[in-house]
Amino acid sequence: DAGITQSPRHKVTETGTPVTLRCHQTENHRYMYWYRQDPGHGLRLIHYSYGVKDTDKGEVSDGYSVSRSKTEDFLLTLESATSSQTSVYFCAISPQGRSYGYTFGSGTRLTVV
């Protein structure tokens, strides 16, 4: 989607290294989310943000941290990557955070070897 971009699209990293994924939006939406998609689990919420410097944990937040210093950018950091964090990561945005269909980015495929 043109209003939301994720970078990088693909990344291979080694176990134990820190990794940062970036989500950038041009829609000025208040709410931003990070999900991971795994076979058999669908999409699971990692962290979300409801404003600049306002973030909260999702259902699978262990091993992840986030930061949002500007409305348009939401960063996801894996402090010390593990093989269990190999996944496809999606960022999503929403204008109001309630009941609206989220707009998702194209995803980042992360492989931890």
Residues interacting with other proteins, by CB under 8 A? 1, 33, 35, 39-45, 48, 58-59, 90, 92, 98-99, 101-107
Please state, in angstroms and rounded to a whole number, the distance separating the CA atoms of residues 38 and 5. 20
Which residue's CB is nearer to other proteins, number 45 or number 75? 45
Which residue's CB is nearer to other proteins, number 34 or number 112? 34
Which residue's CB is nearer to other proteins, number 24 or number 44? 44
CB 17 to other proteins: min, Å? 25
Please state, in angstroms and rounded to a whole number, the distance separating the CA atoms of residues 83 and 31. 29
CB 33 to other proteins: min, Å? 8
